[in-house]
A = this chain, B = another copy of it.
Amino acid sequence: MTAPGSTLLAEIVDAVGAEQVVTDPVSTEALSRDHAEWAPCGVPLAVVRARSTADVQAVVAACHRHRVPVVSRGAGTGLSGGANAVEGGVVLSLEPMRAIREINPLEQLAVVEPGVVNDDLRAAVAGHGLWYPPDPASSPWSTIGGNVATNAGGLCCVKYGVTRDYVLALEVVTGTGAVVRLGRRTAKGVAGFDLVGLMVGSEGTLGIVTEVTVRLRPLPPAAITVAGHFASVVDAGAAVRAVGAAGITPAALELVDRHCLEAVDAWKNMGLSVDAEAVLLARVDEPGVTGEQVADRIVDCFTGAGATWADRSTDPGEAEALFEARRLAYPALERLGPVLTEDVCVPKDHVPEMLARIEKIAEHHDVRIANIAHAGDGNLHPLLITPPGDDAARVRAQAAFEDILDAAIGLGGTVTGEHGVGLLKREGLEREASPEVLGLHRAIKRALDPALILNPGKVVAIEGVG
């Protein structure tokens, strides 16, 4: 008797080699989910490690013949369940594809395989005086392919934009196993629809990216850091709005609350804890006197909004430690118990109100909520922390999570600013988008993946999957 999937497995092994195919449940389990603590996930038939476009094409073609789902993944640092395995499907890991194929200073672009780690790309191009701006907090671990799949953001987005703004061209394996090249190497181009933009952020549901051509910029000048302490997160939110109202676009404008600083200190003993409920960190990278003037105006905005202390940092080491603390906040909080991560984004005008609503929701549901935020673009990450093993707290956190989504939608915002829909925000998307817009999503999904095998069930539910 032939076990289910054994023919498919034999075809995959034949195409990519047995050493690239993992089937024992202990080994596949670790590669079956991303970092979204609370999203469901299935048990895969196998995890396949792709080393080339040909490997990806062979696996997708085989899955297409057998109508078996294929879920692509990078480093698994996603926060929405987008890379979680589908029961009985194939997980396709692109981590082995980590070559940087070209760095071109004249055209200011680089061509990379999807498994290249964000920070590795950054380091490689810095040697040429160039910069790849998108900087999710996961940049030491997350891959460019994963960043493309989720249209990752980060600290610098407020001034420099998101991943989509830096993707010029893609090589993609489609749902029928064809290899296509989308986009171009030129600075401009309007020959046909924007299929590159459509692929970016589609979370592996419309195609699997096997090569990325990214746009680069010159390295920015040395930055000035401005820090402000506030007696409440709402005051800090008012300062964020004041910076926007002053027409200032800082190179970063981050909010970190007391919960986060204490958790980082408890872990790393960095001596950061301050006598403030919230800290704002701004980065200014205009050159010379202009930069100093902008920094001073930000200090004024902070002070005018009620900061208990605000100043330009004169110590680069101290400034870097503050940004490092912001990057460490998420793993530091995870040490305290399961974390449910929010990712709402609201218009700047409503940042203070949204932060106030989050406080009320925390109180109402008796849930501990810490706040980190890319505050300058209204992208808030309330982190709902529950004590390990406390199921009742978990239920309350889930209710608070839903209330936060509704509050963001009510303020003209979105349920996800940069983490993606995956599984965690699928219902949120259904509340945010009209049935007609969801219908357009399904029509495009069916057009590009007619057999519905690419990461099915993520982003939008679709009939015929399962």
Contacts and interface: CB of A to CB of B under 8 A. Distances in A.
Interface of A: 105-108, 129, 150-151, 153, 157-158, 162, 164-165, 174, 178-182, 184-195, 197-198, 200-202, 206, 218, 241, 244-245, 247, 249, 286-290, 345-349, 374, 377-379, 412-421, 425, 428-429, 432-434, 436-437, 440-441, 443-444, 446-448, 459-460
A433 B191 CA distance: 9
B448 A164 contact: no
A157 B182 CA distance: 21
30 contacts: A106-B245, A150-B190, A157-B187, A157-B188, A164-B194, A174-B436, A178-B436, A180-B437, A185-B347, A186-B413, A187-B378, A188-B345, A188-B378, A190-B201, A190-B419, A191-B414, A191-B415, A191-B428, A192-B421, A192-B437, A192-B441, A193-B198, A193-B202, A194-B194, A194-B197, A197-B197, A197-B198, A218-B249, A288-B289, A290-B290
Given A192-B429, A288-B289, A428-B191, A414 B106 contact: no
A393 to B, nearest CB: 27
Given A180-B434, A186-B412, A190-B421, 9 more contacts: A106-B244, A108-B247, A151-B190, A181-B437, A187-B345, A188-B374, A191-B432, A192-B459, A443-B448
Contacts of A197: 164, 194, 197-198
A421 B190 CA distance: 7
Given A182-B437, A437-B181, A193 B165 contact: no
Q: What are the 9 closest A-B residue pairs judged by CB atoms, nearest first? A: A197-B197, A187-B377, A447-B447, A443-B447, A189-B414, A188-B417, A186-B345, A194-B197, A178-B436
A200 B194 contact: yes
Nearest to A421: B191
Given A186-B414, A415-B191, A446 B447 contact: yes
B377 A247 contact: no
Nearest to A165: B165
A323 to B, nearest CB: 19
A280 to B, nearest CB: 17
Contacts of A436: 174, 178-180
Contacts of A179: 436
A420 B189 CA distance: 8
Contacts of A150: 190
Contacts of A249: 218
Nearest to A429: B191
Contact of A433 (B192, B244, B446): B192
A98 to B, nearest CB: 24
Given A184-B414, A447-B444, A190 B420 contact: yes
Contacts of A378: 186-188
A200 B440 CA distance: 16
A349 B418 CA distance: 35
Contacts of A416: 189-191
